[in-house]
Amino acid sequence: MALLSIALFSCSKKEVSKPSKPAEEVFDPQPVGTTAQKVNTGGNISDYLLYIPDEYNTKKDYRWPLIIFLHGVGEIGTNVEILKNVALPRVIKGKPFVMVAPQCNSTWWNREVLQKFYKEMVARYHVDSNRVILTGLSMGGIATWDWICAYPKNFAAAAPICGTGYANLVPAVKSLPIWAFHCADDPTVNVSGSRVPVKALQDLGGNIKYTEYPTGGHDAWTRAYAAAELYAWMLNQRRQ
- For 32-95, the DSSP string reads SEEEEEE---SSSEEEEEEEE-TTTTT-TT-PEEEEEEE--GGG-SS-GGGGGGSHHHHH-TTS
pLDDT higher than threshold 90 for residue 10? no
| Of 17 and 131, the one with more pLDDT | 131
The conformation of residue 181, written as its DSSP 8-state character, comes to: E
What lies within 8 Å, CB to CB, of 142 at 6+ separation is 109, 136, 160, 163, 164, 189, 193
**Residue range 41-58: mean pLDDT, rounded:** 95
pLDDT the model gives residue 9: 37
* pTM score: 0.88
pLDDT the model gives residue 15: 47
CA distance 135 to 138: 10
Average pLDDT, the chain: 91
- For 104-163, the DSSP string reads E-SSS--HHHHHHHHHHHHHHSSEEEEEEEEEEETHHHHHHHHHHHH-GGG-SEEEEES-
pLDDT the model gives residue 127: 96
**Residue range 25-44: mean pLDDT, rounded:** 90
DSSP β-bridge partners for residue 98: 66
| Of 39 and 28, the one with more pLDDT | 39
- For the chain, domains (ranges, CATH) are 31-235 (3.40.50.1820)
Cβ atoms of residues 237 and 156 within 8 Å: yes
Q: Tell me the pLDDT band of 22, cut-offs 50, 70 and 90.
A: very low
Q: Sheet of 127-137: strands edge to edge? A: 33-38, 45-52, 98-104, 64-70, 127-137, 157-161, 178-183, 208-213
pLDDT higher than threshold 60 for residue 92? yes
pLDDT higher than threshold 80 for residue 6? no
pLDDT per residue over 103-137, tens digit each?
999 999 999 999 999 999 999 999 999 999 999 99
CA distance 24 to 181: 41
CA distance 230 to 64: 17
